[in-house]
Amino acid sequence: MKITTAKSAGFCFGVQRAVELVYEEADKGGNVYTLGPIIHNEEVVHDLMEKGVKVIETLEELKGNAKGTIIIRSHGVPEITYQQLKDLGFEIIDATCPFVRKIHKIVDQHSKDGYHIVIIGDPSHPEVEGIIGWCKGGFTVVENVIEAEKINLPVNTKVCIVSQTTFNYKKFQDLVEIITKKGYDIFVLNTICNATQERQTEAAQLAKASDAMLVIGGNHSSNTRKLYEICKKECENTYYIQKLSDLDLNLFKSYRNVGITAGASTPNNIIKEVLTGMSEKSFEQLLEEEKVVAISNGEVVEGIVLGVKEDEIILNIGYKSEGIITRSEYTNTPNVDLTKLVHVGDKMQAKILKVNDGEGQVALTYKRLAAEKGNKRLEEAFNNKEVLTARVAEVLNGGLSVIVDEARVFIPASLISDSYEKNLEKYAGEQIEFVITEFNPKKRRIIGDRKQLLVAKREVLKKDLFEKIQVGMTVEGTVKNITDFGAFIDLGGADGLLHISEMSWGRVENPKKVFKVGDTVKAYIKDIQGEKIALSLKFANQNPWANAMEKYAVGTEVTGKVARMTDFGAFIELEPGVDALLHVSQISKEHVEKPADALRIGQEITAKVVDFNADDKKISLSIKALTADSENTGEAAPYVEA
């Protein structure tokens, strides 16, 4: 008979953590209580009771006991329970599974935001009871299709759906689909523990390939019961036992391939006892086969991921204790969510920092091992002058930090660009190219240079640009910098200067009011002197003086705005690029001392053209002449806006 045990069988990370916490407290002595059985496994609960740990079912029951330490099990409890325990004077150790705690945070926030919470799971399960205790508004618990179909909420209701961590994933999908069809504003979060999903998927695959399937777990274990249902669906010969004494070996004599899985609350020693009984080996033999490896600081080990939290990875390295990789020892990237990068069952290499981290676990580092490999990669790139590409991990005061295979490279601000960069924040998260110009890992000095790549690239572009441009050609570029006297336009290899006097046929007071950095500008090349390119926007076909002789012939009545004033007169803008002089003596029949006594900037006036000089581009106006004409004809005098 071939026996195959599921890799994920037995304690999950959350249960393992909770059980270890209780054993540690029991070893310290004193009064230790658990709020409900720490796990749904009678064998473990009985063993803990032998060590003096007392199971408390209700807070009322706790009042009659001596003060001590109360341990909240991995299922979690309602929010109010924490305060009630504090009020009773007990020290609290919270062993709530991180995946369950995440659900508490979700329902707490979303119920505050006005969502109706739908919890998919067993309403009598302590985990679901705990989740309910974090809801701040309406909630509904759904366990089956009938209950899902009965949900009847107002159409515009916002609904947040979560799941018991040990619920059957396929059933969860089916129930979500039913609720979704009701037309609510739905926000679905698959909160089934990834270890649970992994365990259920693996159990189903193993059951398909087996003649018989054995599921080990406590009678009250929800996740074990779901494993049994999944296996039974795939393999008719599926049996549910709690311990070796429940096993009838005669049932398995005719089977060639037998699969074994176990719930998250099943201790490994029970799995081994069952396996021993079926394979006719002694428990001692099995322990002898499972040699505990000897390890030391600095050693590189390989292991399998047992559990993942946002900031921590638990690794089975074949040692008596699990290895722990914290977020800061996994990557240099800040605030990364490890659950998105690493999954249960993954194989990983890591380096041992401490055999005992002070809590009985092995402290590991992944990033330092990766950095060692990364340094070799950077050294090769340095020697070969290779161009590297990496994402900017952090913007620092004096430059940028990029990471290549967990090895950090610093790019000083002076080597980031071929021009001055005032704001480096724009590079955050961007992929950039650079070369290594200094490599000294012992002094932690690995310097990158992006500037020389940009300069080299720009030289190539400059050569290509000057080979094809000529005076009079229309070009397009991007505004790179703006000064009081003009704007510098990046033409792709070289900059062209668009002087303030060439920005318009009219008068430009301030270039920054006309352009902003990043604008696309189409101009023509007015002049080329060596590497200096002069640009202009004063296109000949847009010259307002081209037909000015016809538009502003002597005797024509015109309207314009006062643009500027001097002591001898005011300059009137007839259109952009065409100004005319209204002499102080021509403002009125009455004596005007200076133009400012009668006019103001921006004022619109009507006057008569009394002189036009095409060669000098000069036009003279007179309001007085227009007034005289009106008096001679008896018409109303021209209107001057006040």
Set 20, 42, 57, 127: catalytic member: 127
- Give the helix/strand (H/E) hosting 12: none
Contact 395, 412 (CB under 8 A): no
Q: Give the integer Cα–Cα distance in Å for 387 and 405.
A: 15
Contact 613, 621 (CB under 8 A): no
Residue 552 backbone phi and psi in degrees, to 5:
-125, 45
- Could you please report the per-residue DSSP string of 577-601? TEEEEEEGGGS-SS--SSGGGT--T
The angle at the Cα of 544, spanning 541 to 546, to the nearest 5 degrees, equals 65
Sign, CA dihedral 175-179-181-187, equals negative
Q: For residue 213, how far is the Cα from the chain centroid?
A: 43
User: DSSP assignment, residue 335?
Assistant: T
> Does the annotation mark 127 as catalytic?
yes
Tokens representing 130 are 């705990």
Strand order in the sheet with 54-56: 54-56, 32-35, 69-72, 91-94
Q: Give the integer Cα–Cα distance in Å for 329 and 564.
A: 69
Q: Give the integer Cα–Cα distance in Å for 591 and 582.
A: 14
- For residue 42, the SS3 value is helix
Q: Which residues pair with 303 in a beta bridge?
A: 348
| Number of other CB atoms surrounding residue 490 within 10 Å | 17
Q: Give the integer Cα–Cα distance in Å for 300 and 297.
A: 9
- Burial of 288: CB neighbours in 10 Å, binned 0-12, 13-18, 19+: exposed
| Number of other CB atoms surrounding residue 153 within 10 Å | 16
Torsion of CA 124, 130, 131, 135, to 10 degrees: 110
User: DSSP assignment, residue 571?
Assistant: E
Tokens representing 509 are 């007071």
Contact 184, 8 (CB under 8 A): no
Tokens representing 308 are 């993942």
Residue 520 backbone phi and psi in degrees, to 5:
-90, 130
Please list, in sequence order, all residues whose beta carbon lies within 8 angstroms of the beta carbon of residue 432, skipping any fewer than 6 positions away.
Answer: 389, 390, 391, 392, 400, 402, 411, 450
- For residue 427, the SS3 value is helix
| Number of other CB atoms surrounding residue 348 within 10 Å | 19
Q: Which residues are catalytic?
A: 127
